[in-house]
Chain A
């Protein structure tokens, strides 16, 4: 049986189309596909019986370390379901995994809560990206929901629709992320406006118009994605890049993949490789590609962008940003890492991800952290 049947959600549109064709023409494969899905549906039905409502399952997981978090009503409901859940834990190792996972999720939430409380009381913490403003607007909307007891669609951004054209505006000092159905993500750094023609039938528009700054994470689908600014036209397949556009100048920085950039008149352009940038001045052809330091060149996006960067260099940049000492084991310094991190994530969180990609460990020290290739 082809492996695609086991992770359909990870297939590209083209791979799904090919699979559907094979399912149409291969009866044996089709039966296996139905059998696999039927098994999944049956297991899920059985799990629903076994685990019951998510609220009670969460209460069951929280009870061990956070009993005081449960309301009286939740405790009563849990008491009624306890025998069933105890038996499920006993009989099914996956249930124990799920409960353990909920407890880990709670620990992660706890840490984020603590660090947020700590951060809000800390001054002069060093460079910070502008805060997102979506919450304020969402807050207003939720107040309206509470007042009218009517649920209406809630959007995080100021979105205006003119027929099928969507326009998203982000105010100065704010960062907003726009996610499209195919997984393409646009991180808008205000002031910025993104507009495009939306349709229920397509997962992503084929082109968008941008004024201001944005970092694009475009999922590869085999169909070109075009970003137009006042002075340039950028055409990509799957890639990550930053774009800063004013009425007179557009700067393009490519983090990964490949893209071509031309002037607004779409004359012959230049092709960028990762780690290169080009500038398009109004009425002119794009400048020749120029090598840049991605982390510096994309700092305006509030991101650390590492592409094939040595661990030693990453440690230096993080040390500088967070004002903390980070040492690196001899065996790790020259290893290469790729990744993108929000600059408002906690330092330890970023280091843990870097370490995980290397099979290394993060050890707290008196003045910071140490990345080491061996278990602490």
Chain B
């Protein structure tokens, strides 16, 4: 207080700089020795499970899944820590980085590559506790691997398929699509269904949708040897064909930017007759729609119908103190019983084949089983790069411009490749 203001200020700045440098230095050493969750043994541990939930009802349903772990292993408790989808990814990133993450982490296949470094590979535990991988859908088991190591055990999965409005098809006199229908048949149907304020299709440039439409048309994939390859000739061709749905064929409406629910509102309100979506949304969509909903595989290009599978599962953070207990809990949570319960409630298309029937019974849609089995066979997991979140974000931004005809599709892909290619 006796110092002149200028001197005091100099002192304050010096102190703060020193503090900041110390902090920078302290954070610099990432030795992962944070105080992790779940101290205990393989048989006795109190674990926390971080997961995305939509609301209190959702929270209650998932807590029941967590309770299955205690039913199977009386010494283990799992407490659900729910966050909504968008905040979940921001939160889990900081938690994993600080080494204070919960033991059990919800993980989505498309985001896995970004977080895999902070997750425990499960292969040894799978062997130790005899998890039978053949009981799960193969594409999603593959989809939850990073660098060949299993990072999470799936609870839901599903290939991208076409949802269609049976009533509109009937009114327009268009034959309902069957497995094996071709791109030409699809385009003819979409054109016929367009008119009188309606469109045959609705699409927005989401990563899964774009990748599936490109793959079925030209067989190209977004990554080649783990590197982003959006400017490869085959990918550009496929993407141009996809953009034409909106740009030149005009059987899909112009796309608003950043509206994640535009596709679903457009389809559910009966303004568009088809959309590409995952089975995880099917029962919900059917519940909201005031018409008959049908499902069909993605139309076949020159080499047949080809689509992508995505899904989610549970993994273990590296900072977890009792990975054995956490793995036992995950085995229970992805067991037949909880997955069947979730399926019967229509929450997720289960990753376990044995639970599929319960889901089809709940869905009550003719031909759903035939379609999904067919699509699953013709699908591969969408394996992503470390910076996939950025790629998906760019695809949404510049894809919108390409679809709306503001920029040429190849230029959109080049911009994305330039922006994100180096980090993949």
B is bound to A: no
B residues at A contact (CB < 8 Å): none
Give residues in A with beta carbon < 8 Å to B: none
